[in-house]
Chain A
Amino acid sequence: MHELSLCQSIVEILEEQSRRHHYRRVRRVELRVGPRAMVEPASMVFSFGVASRGTLAEGAALEIRPVPARAVCLDCSCEGEVAKLAEACSNCGSYRLLWEEDGGLRLGEIEVD
């Protein structure tokens, strides 16, 4: 259930940003999830409901959008996007891919009042 601690981070970022962007309520939150993040969407939505209760994000819709990660092939040097771990290079078929250093979990668009 690391989903709950991630959702607590989401709520904290939303509260922090409310001071910068001057909003009082969040209607929609887009979460960009890369292949390394290992989050379970249903658990994420459930946890977000729990973590946002009583905050400015209570009742907001959580949209989970899978995004690819960037990787470079150690055999053919081809750079590209990968949708999941243990995927082969689309150019030469090698599994020796080096991934970007990023957890791949970002808050994307939010819709606020």
Chain B
Amino acid sequence: MSKNKARTQLPPERLLDGVPHHNRALEVEAKPNGAVLWSSIRRRWWMRAPFNWIMPYRDRKGFHLDSLGLEVWRDCDGRRTVEAIVERFAARHRVSFHEARIAVMQFIQIMTKRELIAVVFNDSGEPGK
């Protein structure tokens, strides 16, 4: 979102209706206790030659997910709503829906800020896409 656009705050009850989608540009590298998501860094003019001859810049950055993060990441498949993802998490770990919601929504918020996933809302107010 551009800095000039006004940010609109969704009512909390609508957040559960969003459908998280993976960023398709990411590369996923499996690790023993989770995974690393690699995203490429846009190369600015000062990151190109001849500047990078002196100061080499990395061309991608990685986000490490532990096993819990990887579970939620896999559930963000573009078909399930946030509510369905929370339900699955709660059932797997035998916690209440409300406990799972706080943990999962914080995680989705972090992933969204880092552009690893995008949450799509339907303007008609219908759950799902």
Question: Do A and B belong to a common assembly?
Answer: no
